[in-house]
Amino acid sequence: MAAAAVVRGIGSNLSKNLREVRLHLCQISAASQGTRDFIEQHYVTLKTANPEFPILIRECSGVQPVLWARYGFGKEHSISLDNMNADQVAKALESVVNAKP
Amino acid sequence: MSSSSSSATAGAAAVVSSTPAGPNMVEVFVDGKPVMVEPGTTVLQTCEKVGVQIPRFCYHDRLSVAGNCRMCLVEIEKAPKPVAACAMPVMKGWNILTNSEKTRKAREGVMEFLLSNHPLDCPICDQGGECDLQDQSMMFGADRSRFTEGKRAVEDKNIGPLIKTIMTRCIHCTRCVRFASEVAGVEDLGTTGRGNSMQIGTYVEKMFMSELSGNVIDLCPVGALTSKPYAFTTESIDVLDAVGSNIVVSTRGGEVMRILPRLNEDLLKYENILSPFTHTHAQLCHLKTTDFIQGSEVGAIAGGMVDAEALVALKDLLNRLDSDTLCTEEIFPMAGAGTDLRSNYLLNSRITGIEECDLMLLVGTNPRYEAPLFNARVRKSWLHNELQVAMVGHKVDLSYSYNHLGETTQVLQEIAAGTHPFCKVLAQAKKPVVVVGSSALQREDGAAIFKAVSTIAQNSRASSGVEEGWKVLNVLHRVASQVAALDLGYKRGVDAIRKNPPKVLFLLGADADCITRADLPKDSFIIYQGHHGDVGAVMADVILPGAAYTEKNGTYVNTEGRAQQTRVAVTAPGMAREDWKILRAISELAGVTLPYDTVDEVRRRLEEVSPNLVRYDDVEESNYFKQAHELSKAVNQSLLAAPLVPPQLTVKDFYMTDPISRASQTMAKCVKAATEGAASVDEPSIC
């Protein structure tokens, strides 16, 4: 699966530029299905490789799925994960990991 | 009646009631209006369904039926005598006449009897204006008196420093007796004597020693039981434990005088009003500071009663100074999924789930004093739904019987491994619930305890075959701000500060003495922001006066994950301000101005961090238990041999557990009374 490869690629580098990652998703909507799948399948791998890094998963009914990335000095960046599948979510995560704040 | 024929058919659409016609519904008439009810419904409940309120004193919908006041007597057409509406189940075809001649005469008669021995205390009675007797005598009583005899008087009883008793006013409705026996589980109150010499009391001089004792003040329909510390209003939530009970705060001048319960079915029906108190704010100075440092040199600790707005403002402020050292005083295990997944730190089954479960396992908690309303629900379920409760932890009196499995971590380990005899019971439960107390997780082996509890929860879920939506694992918090802080991404426990002591430490309402000056570098600068500075303020260089929960519009999240709002009941004294506003001002001085100026903008920011924080009064479902469990399995910590003993064991530990109650004179009296007996507390002799 492409997502698994991306997650392997990220490895333990979550904290390279980032300070915190937040995933907002809806528990049941179709638009959040990809995000839900991503968490279901890859969260454990990601967390095991980055045990001290905060990956806040915040489920809330009716919200649009969003990936929030916080860098140093409070700078934040968000990416909408609306209707993305798990692979695309992984790619979005990869992009914020590698982006310089 | 012409309308009766139309509702004789199966469809109940013609009727006021919203329940669809079940197979067994009974048709009854209230003043000629037909209504379908389930068999077993009482006359009083039937009338309420139609919207007719029948007057009553002894009936309370949360207590057992007594039927001793007789105020609810109503006439049934073609019946020889009026019936007590609160106790009589309806029969098919009855026509209940709620305003007929006979009914009215009955009410006037009962009222006359009740008033015959009732003292003429209205002008000096605390209950005046909210007295059931006053209201019902105006509506249903006779307009003239025939009373020329003498009234009886009864001695006042001393049942503790919170409840003022003037037993002459008692009308013997026995609500307090039933409450004490059924809901609180302490069978201290009862009736002695009969007829004219009947008295309600404890018979021997005994304190009504229960964490729920203050509720009888609200229950008593007359001014017999009133609040000793006391007196007027707005609606808020209680943040002295993590249940977030809904309350109405009554104030006079600038002081909080009393706290009343507010009905919220999902949380609880009785609020704990053992916390009427008066604030005594000392004069706090307000200094400005313009030197700020950056990065890991600045850290913050958030205390137990901080609202979410202040928490997010503090986090944003420190993040902008490039610091991530934001900690809560209360520890939660960092290992495994930690606080990434909300399901790891919430009371997932919710308080309503207690009524559906059939087996509850408590680990390392004394819910009676940590979350009394949670305990009252468990007791209710134990009484009515045959809930079995088992406990691993120090043996305490929970007001209901339970299976004490032991207090060592060894027991916990055996249950997790499947070798303990209790596992068989657990495997047979259809809807099991496991509750671990937050005090157990404060220990050094907190992660290992959590791992064991998580294993037990997963195993019992698998063996019970319960459906996907049922949650087994629960954490019972004791601290009101903890869940919001965890939702926002705070680090748990002050280890991060210990490892990297900052030069500037911000204490936001932090009074639990986790970090002292000795832990920090020599010239460190401590800022304390809060409302009742005890330990935290004493060691600070600067003290900024914040507002208490009754003085601000704040968001708190309870142990279930339900966000609720407090509202302003009193204005904050002196120069105290809402906490987030102070932080916003500081951010400007520090050159990192926060991007919000109004509370709505702060709440929009809250939504950006964790959207459930602005979903007021709702609980959002959290999932991913399997993932959390997988990560917790990797935790490599072993359980310590120390037994699981929660910090609050007896009632005297209950009254002073946070800075607000430690500052309260009334709470001090309660502790004294609990330790030395009711007579030891000196009360002024005014009535």
- Write the DSSP assignment of A6-24 as a string of letters: HHHHHTTGGGTTEEEEEEE
pLDDT value of position B239: 64
Q: How would residue A56 be classed by pLDDT, with cut points 50, 70 and 90?
A: very high
Instruction: Mention every residue, 6+ apart, whose C-beta is less than 8 A from residue B253.
Output: none
Q: How would residue B10 be classed by pLDDT, with cut points 50, 70 and 90?
A: very low
A52 contacts on B by Cβ (under 8 Å): 334
Gap between the Cα atoms of B410 and B414, Å rounded:
6
B341 contacts on A by Cβ (under 8 Å): 57
A57 contacts on B by Cβ (under 8 Å): 340-342, 624
Of B597, B616, B635, the domain-final residue: B616
Q: Is residue B633 a part of any domain in this protein?
A: no
Contact B621 A57 (CB under 8 A): no
CA nearest to B627 within chain A: A44
CATH (domain of B248): 3.40.50
pLDDT value of position B528: 85
In Å, how far is A18's CA from the nearest CA of chain B?
11
ipTM over 0.90: yes
CA nearest to B336 within chain A: A51
Q: Is residue B146 a part of any domain in this protein?
A: no
Residues B661 and B599 in one domain: no
Of B476, B509, B538, the domain-final residue: B476
Segment B304-308 shows an average pLDDT of 89
Contact B621 A61 (CB under 8 A): yes
Tell me which residues of chain B have a C-beta less than 8 Å from any C-beta of chain A. 316, 319-322, 324, 334-335, 337-342, 487, 489, 592, 608-612, 615, 620-624, 627, 630-631, 634
Contact B612 A27 (CB under 8 A): no
Q: Residue B106: pLDDT above 90?
A: yes
Please check whether residue A24 touches B, CB under 8 A. yes
Residues B486 and B466 in one domain: no
Taken in order of first residue, the domains within chain A and their CATH numbers are 1-98 (3.40.30.10)
Interface test with B, best of A39, A59, A66, A78 (most B CBs within 10 A): A59
Q: Looking at A33-47, B86-100, B473-487, B523-537, which range is the least confident one? A: B523-537
Q: Is residue B390 a part of any domain in this protein?
A: yes
Going by their DSSP bridges, the two strands B359-363 and B255-261 should be labelled as unpaired
Please check whether residue A22 touches B, CB under 8 A. yes
Count structural domains, chain B: 4
Q: Looking at A42-56, B231-245, B498-512, which range is the least confident one? A: B231-245
Gap between the Cα atoms of B360 and B351, Å rounded:
12
Q: Residue B167: pLDDT above 60?
A: yes
Q: Is residue B174 a part of any domain in this protein?
A: no
pLDDT value of position B37: 94
Which one, of B22, B44, B31, lies nearest residue B89 by Cα?
Answer: B44
The tokens of B86 are what? 């609160």
Q: Looking at A22-36, A75-89, B4-18, B189-203, which range is the least confident one? A: B4-18
Instruction: Mention every residue, 6+ apart, whose C-beta is less than 8 A from residue B11.
Output: B21
Q: How would residue B15 be classed by pLDDT, with cut points 50, 70 and 90?
A: very low
In Å, how far is A44's CA from the nearest CA of chain B?
6
The tokens of B579 are what? 């906490």
Q: Is residue B206 a part of any domain in this protein?
A: no
CA nearest to B634 within chain A: A48
Nearest by CB to B337, which of A19, A47, A73? A47
Going by their DSSP bridges, the two strands A18-25 and A55-59 should be labelled as parallel
Query: Over chain B, what is the mean pLDDT?
Result: 82
Tokens 């509702």 belong to residue: B7
Better-predicted residue by pLDDT, B216 or B102: B102
Which one, of B471, B473, B478, B545, lies nearest residue B508 by Cα?
Answer: B545
Residues B495 and B457 in one domain: no
- What digits encode the pLDDT tens for the residues B178-221? 999 998 888 889 999 998 999 999 988 888 878 787 788 889 99
Q: Looking at A39-43, B241-245, B341-345, B380-384, which range is the least confident one? A: B241-245
pTM for this one? Answer: 0.79
Of B430, B450, B476, the domain-final residue: B476
Contact A61 B340 (CB under 8 A): no
Contact B342 A55 (CB under 8 A): no
Which one, of A29, A34, A26, A31, lies nearest residue A1 by Cα?
Answer: A34
Q: Domain containing B94: what range?
A: 26-117
Work out how many CB contacts closer than 8 A connect A with B.
79
Segment B464-485 shows an average pLDDT of 87
Q: How would residue B678 be classed by pLDDT, with cut points 50, 70 and 90?
A: low
**Residue B280: other Cβ atoms inside 10 A:** 11
Residues B610 and B489 in one domain: yes
Q: How would residue B603 be classed by pLDDT, with cut points 50, 70 and 90?
A: very high
pLDDT value of position B89: 94
Q: Looking at B469-473, B511-515, B516-520, B677-681, which range is the least confident one? A: B677-681
Residues B545 and B655 in one domain: no
Residues B546 and B425 in one domain: no
pLDDT value of position B262: 60
In Å, how far is A28's CA from the nearest CA of chain B?
10
Residues B468 and B520 in one domain: no
3-state secondary structure B109-151: HHHHHHHHCCCCCHHHCCCCCCCHHHHHHHHHCCCCCCCCCCC
Q: Is residue B7 a part of any domain in this protein?
A: no
Residues B405 and B294 in one domain: no
Q: Residue B175: pLDDT above 70?
A: yes
Residues B494 and B408 in one domain: no
Write the DSSP string, B492-550. Answer: ESTHHHHHS--SEEEEES--S--S-GGGS-TT-EEEEEESS-SHHHHT-SEEEEB--GG
Q: How would residue B535 be classed by pLDDT, with cut points 50, 70 and 90?
A: confident
Write the DSSP string, B335-402. Answer: STTTTSBGGGTSBTTHHHHTTT-SEEEEES--HHHHSHHHHHHHHHHHHHS--EEEEESS----SS--
In chain B, the percentage of residues whose pLDDT exceeds 70 is 84
Q: Is residue B153 a part of any domain in this protein?
A: no
CATH (domain of B87): 3.10.20.740
The tokens of B315 are what? 């986090």
Please check whether residue A53 touches B, CB under 8 A. no
CATH (domain of B397): 3.40.228.10
User: Could you give the dihedral angle defined by the CA atoms of residues B637, B640, B644 and B645, in that order, rounded to the nearest 10 degrees?
Assistant: -120
Nearest by CB to B342, which of A40, A51, A58? A58
The tokens of B672 are what? 């004294």
Instruction: Mention every residue, 6+ apart, whose C-beta is less than 8 A from residue B153.
Output: B119, B168
Gap between the Cα atoms of B557 and B484, Å rounded:
5
CA nearest to A48 within chain B: B631
Residue A41 Cα distances to A5, A51, B334, angstroms: 12, 17, 22
pLDDT value of position B293: 59
Class of residue B173 by CB neighbours under 10 A (exposed 0-12, middle 13-18, buried 19+): buried
Contact A48 B609 (CB under 8 A): no
Q: Is residue B15 a part of any domain in this protein?
A: no
Segment B643-656 shows an average pLDDT of 77
3-state secondary structure B213-255: CCHHHHHCCCCCEEECCCCCEEEEECCCCCCCCEEEEEEECCE
What pairs with residue B655 in β-bridges?
Answer: none
Contact A59 B339 (CB under 8 A): no
Residues B611 and B484 in one domain: yes
**Amino acid identity for residue A14 in this structure:** L
Nearest by CB to A55, which of B316, B340, B610? B340
Q: How would residue B521 be classed by pLDDT, with cut points 50, 70 and 90?
A: confident
User: Could you give the dihedral angle defined by the CA atoms of residues B334, B336, B341 and B342, in that order, rounded to the nearest 10 degrees?
Assistant: -50
CA nearest to A54 within chain B: B340
Residues B541 and B666 in one domain: no
Interface test with A, best of B342, B620, B637 (most A CBs within 10 A): B620
Q: Residue B291: pLDDT above 70?
A: no
pLDDT value of position B289: 39
User: Could you give the dihedral angle defined by the CA atoms of residues B411, B413, B416 and B418, in that order, rounded to the nearest 10 degrees?
Assistant: -70
Contact A57 B340 (CB under 8 A): yes
Please check whether residue A98 touches B, CB under 8 A. no
Q: What are phi and psi of A66, to 5 degrees?
A: -140, 145
A58 contacts on B by Cβ (under 8 Å): 342, 487, 609-612
CA nearest to A43 within chain B: B627
In Å, how far is B323's CA from the nearest CA of chain A?
8
pLDDT value of position B305: 87
Residues B505 and B585 in one domain: yes
Contact (Cβ atoms closer than 8 angstroms) between residue A66 and residue A81: yes
